[in-house]
Amino acid sequence: MFHRHPVLRIRRKTAVAAALGLVLALVTGASPATHGARTAVGPSTTALPAYAIQSTAKVTDSAAAVSSPGYPAAGWYAAGPRSTVLAALLAAGKYADPFYSTNQKNIPTADFTVPWWYRSDFTVADTSARTYLDFSGVVSAADVFVNGRQVADKSAVVGAYTRHELDITSAVRSGTNTVAFRVQPNDPRKNLTMGWIDWLQPPPDENMGIVRDVLVRRGGPVALRDAHVVTALAVPSLATADLTVKARARNDSASTVTTTVSGTIGTASFSQDVTLAAHETKTVTFTPATHPQLHLASPRVWWPAGMGEQALYGLDLTASVSGTASDTVHESFGIRDVKAPLNADGARQYSVNGRPLLIKGGGWSPDEYLRWDRTYAEDRLKYALDLGLNTIRLEGHIEPDEFFDLADRHGILTLPGWECCDKWEGQVNGSEPGDKWTAADYPVAKASMAAEAARLRDHPSVISFLIGSDFAPDKTIEKNYVDALRAADWQTPIVAAASDKSSPITGSSGMKMTGPYDWVPPNYWYNKQEGGATGFNSETSAGPDIPTLDTLRRMMSPTELDTLWKSPSAKQYHRSPSSTFATLALYDAALAGRYGAPAGLDDYVRKAQLAQYENVRAQYEAYARNAKDASKPATGVVYWMFNSGWTSLHWQLTDRCLDQGGAYFGAKKANEPLHIQYSYDDRSVAVVNGRHTPVSGLTARVTLFNTDGTQKYDRTATGVGVGGDGARTTVLTVPASVSGLSTAHLARLLLTDSTGKEVSRNVYWLSTKADVLDYAHTDWYYTPTTAYADLKGLSAMAKATVTAGATTATGGDGASTTTVTLTNTGTGRTPALLTDVHLVDAKGAPVLPVQWSDNQVTLWPGETTTLTATYRTADLHGSAPRLTVSGWNTPTATVHG
């Protein structure tokens, strides 16, 4: 935000340097890596299972000694197969929890200004097979050694995304073999790697290390590389699909070889013989013209979640020589069609399989220390689905293969791309951080693009690559990127930038990056200017997202929590290293101006959740309302951000602990499939249908209440119908003035179907005094508010009584479901506003992750609702579930489940 792969044949050490001109090449199709040594002769792929690491400042032995089997790595630290230096040190308990308070400040950065050794062993029983090291994800560069011999140097193994294959056959011996990487320090302003911009306080080691698997690949004389499937789906009929299978067959022997390349996709099989001269590489292609079985009738089409099934196919290829398998490849892929032309207003409009859709997304952050945890990643992706999002944007920090496998399986679209504000855009970013490129950077950038294109192209969840973020690349850089993408048979749109930029080859981005990134009022989103609901906004939100009290107490000291609510001008370490976002001053001024000054920490958090619910809901609702407008429609919005890589006070729909507050449930409410909503700009009430099938026979009702529960306005519209695929119908408009309405008041919107069943409920807290925006003084990160809506009357609401009952059922899949019935049993007229239910264990700790059918609900006296919470039974740690029920004007109570 504003904010390859060579083949090196090892002969003599003196010949290595001449071989280190690493050329661009593509490698895909490795079998799923398994940890532990593999000794079988024939094709296999094994990830190095772990490393021992140590600072070169503490190692006086030679590189030859360090990289030799049997070297006594006494006192070294253990590291996983994907680990930064600091991640390993944290796992070893060397430093206090860096997510708490300012502990991270105590980690000495000087320890990471020198290279670190990464050392690992693997076992070979038979040296007749060829052996390769295949890897990417080295941050920032490394010298590589095998069994005491250097096989690559840091001028060749450079850049976090470049992929390398080193032929180490001549260095491998029977028995134990050793690989050692001398990893260089990282500086994202100087290296084409990964940085953190203004998202969070950067890690002291700048993520130096090896963050993807290093694979030991073994095989015969012919290697298969670059296997992939190019799909052509008939749109809009979806009746047929043509598949073209490609791979490179490479003869790594000194003799001419004839290989049989055979493959299967489902029940379809195909093969051809290929003759290769010594060390020759040929592209092997199977097309529907030569192999009619690759023309599929009635293909199983891959759809985003909510639009259809997530069908996946598997490609299996084998290269055999004289009847013996020399190499094998497996690749998953999906059949789908993605288009994203520019509409009449110049905005990018995505469609999948011929059906346009509004991109509803969030910005993704990995763990700050790049620790990969498949369960944690899947939990967050399931949260995205729970929120009704369909897209995740990855600005840099492009996650491992498993992430995209999960996105494929769950039907979540992804928008990967390079990041801003560091070396990646240093050539074009004016005064922003990032060094200008040297001649050596261009081939690294092109190799990075080629490697990521080859890795991502078969994932149906990937719908574009953004080759720029805040800035578009210049002509030379763009050509390198586009050439690499096209050479990889990239099929989805190539986007020049996430901002409103253009580049010579790909043209206009069709996106905007107008912010905001700090607080604006809910009515901001409805205006079709700046970051309001028009076009495709690639990153935007109202900034701070204060987490729940439970999470705050996990991340901040008592003194810091005291400062949080008392001192708006205080710098907040858990916000951002940027001076622009160092404090919560804008947010706190709005919170006090609209809701009243906080009376304590609990009151501050309570008001924050109310404010975040209304603001996040408004952002998504405005974009949904405007999606089908004839003029300047909204085509996409990416909430900045979906999550944070550490314990944060801003830019997160869900916090580091996976707890859920107002921002989460505001998004969930806005994005429900069939939804009734209020518009802050013109007071209209609309029904938006995110489902494909139109609906009819609906009844919409709008009722306004004073804060004491007195009803002041009530209207009903019957016979409401609305089309599918995001269509909108305006059903009512609330009058500009209603007699006797209090300054702060409530609006209840109800939508029922033809049987009278409630299908959508939405409650707003509004003011007769509007927020006033000063667009003339808009800055890049926000638009000033010169007058606030007056919602202080909400604090005078009488206490409401909510009773709760709960039952729990445990399934055989390790999950439990707790069903909660909430009833407002008050005898007066006052509603229970934003009643929240938290699932906790016997010690009162939140059970997370959890998926609620709904939460933070508002009930009038006599109203009852039933909620369900689904979670992993093991997360209760053997205790019975409990429920903490609280709300804006509801006393906290605990209920046993």
Report, as residue numbers or ranges, the catalytic residues: 470, 539
Mapping DSSP to helix (H, G, I), strand (E, B) and coil, where does residue 591 land? helix
Cis check for the bond before 522: say yes or no (omega within 30 of 0). no
> Do residues 322 and 228 touch, judged by C-beta distance below 8 A?
no
> Do residues 462 and 352 touch, judged by C-beta distance below 8 A?
no
**What are 251's two structure tokens?**
């003869």
What is the number of other CB atoms lying within 10 angstroms of the CB of residue 716? 14
DSSP H or E segment with residue 269: strand 268-276
Ramachandran quadrant class, 206 (left: phi over 0; alpha: psi -120 to 50; beta: rest)? left
**What are 892's two structure tokens?**
């906290």
Distance CA 653, CA 647 (A): 13
Strands 164-167 and 130-135: antiparallel
Radius of gyration of the chain (CA): 29
* Identity at 759, one-letter amino acid code: V
DSSP H or E segment with residue 668: helix 662-670
- Best CA proximity match to 137, nearest among 86, 100, 192, 189: 192
Mapping DSSP to helix (H, G, I), strand (E, B) and coil, where does residue 289 land? coil
**What are 486's two structure tokens?**
């096209």
Mapping DSSP to helix (H, G, I), strand (E, B) and coil, where does residue 621 land? helix
- Best CA proximity match to 347, nearest among 627, 539, 534: 534
- Measured CA to CA in angstroms, residue 861 lies from 211, 800, 824 at distances of 55, 8, 5
HSE-up of residue 363 (Cα within 13 Å, Cβ side): 26
Helix 662-670 vs helix 601-625: crossing angle, to nearest 10: 20
Distance CA 746, CA 801 (A): 18
> Do residues 498 and 469 touch, judged by C-beta distance below 8 A?
yes
Q: What is the DSSP letter of 65?
A: H
Cβ-based neighbours of 887, under 8 Å, separated by 6 or more: 800, 802, 832, 833, 834, 835, 836
Q: What is the DSSP string of 410-433?
A: HT-EEEEE--SSSGGGTTT-TTSS
State the distance between the two ends of the chain, measured CA to CA, in whole angstroms.
44
Distance CA 867, CA 856 (A): 10
Q: Give the start-end residues of each E strand in 544-683.
A: 634-639, 674-678
Cβ-based neighbours of 698, under 8 Å, separated by 6 or more: 687, 719, 720, 721, 722, 751, 752, 753, 754, 759
DSSP H or E segment with residue 44: strand 44-47
- Best CA proximity match to 370, nearest among 210, 182, 141, 213: 210
Output phi, psi for 351, to 5 deg.
Answer: -140, 145
303-318 in b/e form (b: 16+ CB < 10 A) is: bbbebbebebbebbbb
Burial class (CB in 10 A: 0-12, 13-18, 19+), 755: exposed
Positive or negative: CA dihedral 443, 447, 448, 449:
positive
